[in-house]
Every structure is written in structure tokens, then in C-alpha cells.
Structure 1
Amino acid sequence: MVTLILILVFGHYGSINQRREGKRIIKVGIIDGVSTDHIKFKIKKRSYISNTQEVDNHANVVWSVLTDGLEYKNIQCFEYSVITSDGVIDKRNLIKALDKAKIDHLNIINFSGGFYMDDLEIEQKVNGLVKSGVIFIAAAGNTPQGIADFPARMNNVISVGSKNSKGISNFSPIKKVDIFGKGEEVRYHGEIYKGTSFAAPYIANKIIAYSLNQDVSIRKAKKEIVDFANQQGKDKKD
């Protein structure tokens, strides 16, 4: 099992490679709730839920973690709001968001949500995005020592569990998890948060940063990060 918190990140891919001031532009999207915080990044928003006034901080914290230390001139941000303030996700709204994300030609998607049961239609949509070159990262859920949620547990999705400075978080799944990131002691505006919801954008952030800093593709950065984490996990077992 992989247990390493990584400090690496991804770049750009294929025909959607763009440049601004000589630097690659990475198009990153979150499928989450509705953000309200004004970060330095301009966010193109599309909401599929009606209670947009009933907002908690979930999406705000995700954006805070995902964009930490990144330069706005290298990032284009997209937000697809499907998670209501009480944590409910309507499958139909998620499918609409996945369709729109494909039209927007993103490089990397963070989904800090999930389901207990598999869904064939959602699986097909996610597969289509990944096949087109998108890196899809999903929170593994908060089932202690259990199996990752869907779609995180899909083979071509990066499933992210949570760990702290001492090891795997006591609320994190361990089965069908590809990598563990910081999901505890996440600070935002004086409050402290925890969950794999925030471990996932932590990994997304490291992938993006590595891609830009090393000037490698998103896919190459992802492969190097996951392979390195797997090797570290193997070394700890040996």
C-alpha cells in the first residue's frame, strides 16, 4: 500500500497545450460545491444545483489547497458545482458536469466527492475524459480502513487517501487507494479541516507544480509521482 505524501506535480497534455508568457497553461477543474472565496485565480463557474446561496466552505477549502503556491498566470480554473450544502450529489448533475468538463478540454480534474455504489454511466463518462488525456483525481472517501468510494476506485482514476505526520489517517480507506496525501490539519481562515476531500487537491497541487517546475507533461508527472509513491511503499514493506 502506498503511504507517501508527495511533493511532485503534472504538466500539460496533447493538443490542448497552451502557452502564456512562455509558460505552459494548465487547465484545472474541480467538481465540488459552490465556492465563495475570492482567490487570486479567476474561476470559470458552472453550477448544476439550485441552492447556491446555501454554501459551506468545502469548495473554498479545496481551492485553497489546490492552488497553494501556484502562479495564477499558469493556471486556468474551472468549477462545476454539483455537491449541495448538505453533501448530496445528484447523478444527473454530475453527468452534466463531466460532459461540460470534456468540452472545456481540461488537463486535470479534482473530484472531492463519491458514491458507495458503482454507476456504469458515470464510469463511461470518466473513462471518456481519461481517454482524452485528462488526469482524474478523486477523494477515496472517509470509510475507516475500508475500500475507496466510486469513482475513486476505478482503475484509471487516481484514488487519494489521507495521512498525517504519523501515518494513514484513522478515517481513511486503504483498499483501492493509489496514494495518500495530507488530509488532516488543513487550515483555512482560522479553521481546521480534515478528510480525503482535502487530501485529493493536495495531490493535484503537487502534480501541477511538478509539471510546471520540471516542464514535463501532465501524464509523465502523474506517472512519476505514483510510481515513486509505490516504490516508497514497497521499500517500507521490505
Structure 2
Amino acid sequence: MKKFFATLLVLFSLTGCTSKYSLVTLSNGDCKTNWGLCTVFPNKEVKLYYPKNPIKVAVLDSGINSSMPIFENSSITSYDAIKNKSTTKDSLGHGTAIAGVIMAPLNKQTVQGISPQVKLFDVKVLNDKGGGEINDVINGINWCIKQEVDIINLSFGFQKDNKGLRNAINKAIEKNIIVIASAGNTLGLSTDYPAKYKNVISVSSINKNLKRDPFSAKGKIDFVAPGVQIPVYTPNDKVKTVNGTSFATAFATGVIANILSRNPDADRKSVINTLKNTAKDLGDKGPDQEYGYGLIQFN
């Protein structure tokens, strides 16, 4: 089976930015197999930068099966916020799939992460049925703050506001952590929390025709990303296709990590401005309640 990416490691000097990058090229066949990659990488050729200090991405989810062969050379630190221990197990498979979309390395299975050079923090806050307690999520966020992560990915949501959750997220944002959350699969109804919070980047889902997935939320939407028929890894090292704003959020997190990798000194505000300036406007002209500022991309 052919490799999914053609990659060449080179050196590049740019003031204020990191100098080491891999040049990634996508073929038409690659784009057909995994359309989402060519949607967020519209030029089919992209430089993925490797800063001296890798960008720290926290995935608060159902855990990650980090012992899988695909992750053997990846940097993953685990914490179970439910049981307060330093190992996790993902029986559900959701967290493992999210991690793969964000940072799976070069592989032969057509599942390539958007930002494989990141340092991942695997924080288990969801149980084996996909449910979760607010306090466990809050504990997970507080742990991430102590680890000084750069990005927190929340590929889940709640229908009701919660003061404790809101305060924990605001505390993270005050530390210049970028918090990104899925808008929710609400059949076109209102956005879930925490994506609904003003300072959280809310991501909804589109299909390969760049149309909003009818299952996705409307309302407080900041950006959209691929979230329909996305190939992901399962905990038993198989590949399946999935749908949902959870996976669109993972794509967006990968793009944000690439922006930070290219310019590690960028603050939260400048990253968001970059996202707005590079997004592809969809739907009504300008920001709207279905597509936000548009399709998140990395050029």
C-alpha cells in the first residue's frame, strides 16, 4: 500500500519563526481518500514546522490508547481526571480517534494527523459510555493549566451552562491557552456549552461539498471544519469513518497547532485573527450562524 504523504525535511530561516519544517505534498488520490486533509490544506502542499519547544495540545476526552503502534513515536502524556492517576484507557474509542485526527504521524492507512509534531496531553474526563461529570472536566482543565498547555480540545458539550466550568475555562484563557470546543450534533438547534461561551472557539461540521452537516448545531459558530466521513483510528488499530462536530474540532485544533508551530510567540488574539483572515467564507457573506467566519484552513 502506498504511503499517504510525500514528505521532505528541510531547513528554512525566517525571523521570529521556527526554522525546521517538513514539506508535505498531497496527491489527487490522497485527497479522494481523505478529503478533509485537502480541505484544510487547500494548496495540497504545506510546511509543518517543528519548533524547539513543541506545541502542547490537551485532548480532554475518553482517554487515548497511546500504546497503539501508530503512536509509538509520538509524545503523549496521560492523566485520568476521573480516577486521578497517570494512565488512561479508551474503551469508547472517541479520544483515540480525536488524537489521530490531530497528530497521527505518516502512515499507510490514509489517516494522517493535521499536526503530527505536537506534544499531546491525554486527559480522560469521559467514561466508557461517553458520559461525563462537570467536576471531572473542571479537574482536567485545571490540570492542563498546571501543565502550561497551549491548546485545549473539547470534542464534547453540555446543554446547560455551568458556573464552575465557565470559571475554569476563563482561568485557562487568562493563561493564554486557546480553548476550542465542538458546537454539538444538535440537529440544527443551539450550540452546546462550552462552545457557546464567548471566548471559546466553537467549531461546526461540513461535508465534502462544503455544506453544513444537518446534524450540526447553529447559533454561536466561529468556524467550520471537515466532519463527515472522516477516516479515524479505533482503539484496536483499525480504521473506520465517522461523522460529527467532534472530529471537525480536532481538524481545527490541528490547524491552530500548526499556526503556533510556525510562530510560537503568537498570542491567543493573534492566532484567532489569523484564523479569521485565512478562513474560507461559506454560506451568507461574512460571519453567520451556520458557518461562522468560514472553513478553517492552513496555507
TM-score (norm 1): 0.83
Cα contact 2:51–2:264 (8 A) shared by 1: no
Per the alignment, in what secondary structure is the counterpart of residue 165 of structure 1? coil
Separation of aligned partners in 2, 1:232 and 1:185? 20
* Structure 1: 5+ residue stretches without partners: 9-20
Give the counterpart letter for 1:109 in structure 2: I
Cα contact 1:107–1:218 (8 A) shared by 2: no
Separation of aligned partners in 1, 2:264 and 2:194? 29
* Structure 2: 5+ residue stretches without partners: 1-38, 43-49, 104-112, 233-237, 288-299
Q: Aligned pair in 2 of structure 1 residues 140, 134: CA closer, same or farther (>3 Å)? A: same
Per the alignment, in what secondary structure is the counterpart of residue 248 of structure 2? helix
Question: How many corresponding residue pairs?
Answer: 219
How far 1:62 sits from its partner (Å)?
Answer: 0.2
How far 1:144 sits from its partner (Å)?
Answer: 1.4
- Report what 1:31 is aligned to: 60
Separation of aligned partners in 2, 1:207 and 1:234? 24
Separation of aligned partners in 2, 1:93 and 1:231? 36
Q: Does structure 1 residue 186 correspond to structure 2 residue 219?
A: no
- Report what 1:99 is aligned to: 142
Give the counterpart letter for 2:95 in structure 1: A
After superposing the two structures, state which structure 1 stretch, 92-101 or 206-215, moved more: 206-215
Larger Rg: 2
Separation of aligned partners in 1, 2:141 and 2:251? 21
Q: Aligned pair in 2 of structure 1 residues 60, 107: CA closer, same or farther (>3 Å)? A: same
Give the counterpart letter for 1:36 in structure 2: N
1:144-163 superposed matches below 5 A: 144-163=187-206
Give the counterpart letter for 2:92 in structure 1: D
The correspondence for 1:79, drawn from 122, 128, 145, is: 122
- Report what 1:168 is aligned to: 212
Separation of aligned partners in 2, 1:191 and 1:25? 29
Separation of aligned partners in 2, 1:49 and 1:31? 11
Q: Aligned pair in 2 of structure 1 residues 22, 85: CA closer, same or farther (>3 Å)? A: closer
After superposing the two structures, state which structure 1 stretch, 209-218 or 102-111, moved more: 209-218
Per the alignment, in what secondary structure is the counterpart of residue 29 of structure 1? strand
Q: Aligned pair in 2 of structure 1 residues 119, 7: CA closer, same or farther (>3 Å)? A: farther
Q: Aligned pair in 2 of structure 1 residues 232, 170: CA closer, same or farther (>3 Å)? A: closer
Q: Does structure 1 residue 59 correspond to structure 2 residue 95?
A: yes
Q: Aligned pair in 2 of structure 1 residues 187, 6: CA closer, same or farther (>3 Å)? A: closer
Give the counterpart letter for 1:172 in structure 2: S
More helix by share: 1
Q: Does structure 1 residue 223 correspond to structure 2 residue 223?
A: no
- Report what 2:171 is aligned to: 128
Cα contact 1:211–1:217 (8 A) shared by 2: yes
Cα contact 1:7–1:206 (8 A) shared by 2: no
Cα contact 1:207–1:218 (8 A) shared by 2: no
Q: Aligned pair in 2 of structure 1 residues 211, 153: CA closer, same or farther (>3 Å)? A: same
Separation of aligned partners in 2, 1:226 and 1:99? 28
The correspondence for 2:115, drawn from 70, 74, 94, is: 70
Between the two structures, name the one with larger relative contact order (CA 8 Å, sep ≥ 6).
Answer: 1
Separation of aligned partners in 1, 2:59 and 2:277? 24
After superposing the two structures, state which structure 1 stretch, 147-156 or 210-219, moved more: 210-219
Per the alignment, in what secondary structure is the counterpart of residue 164 of structure 2? helix
Q: CA RMSD in A?
A: 2.5
TM-score (norm 2): 0.67
How far 1:234 sits from its partner (Å)?
Answer: 5.5
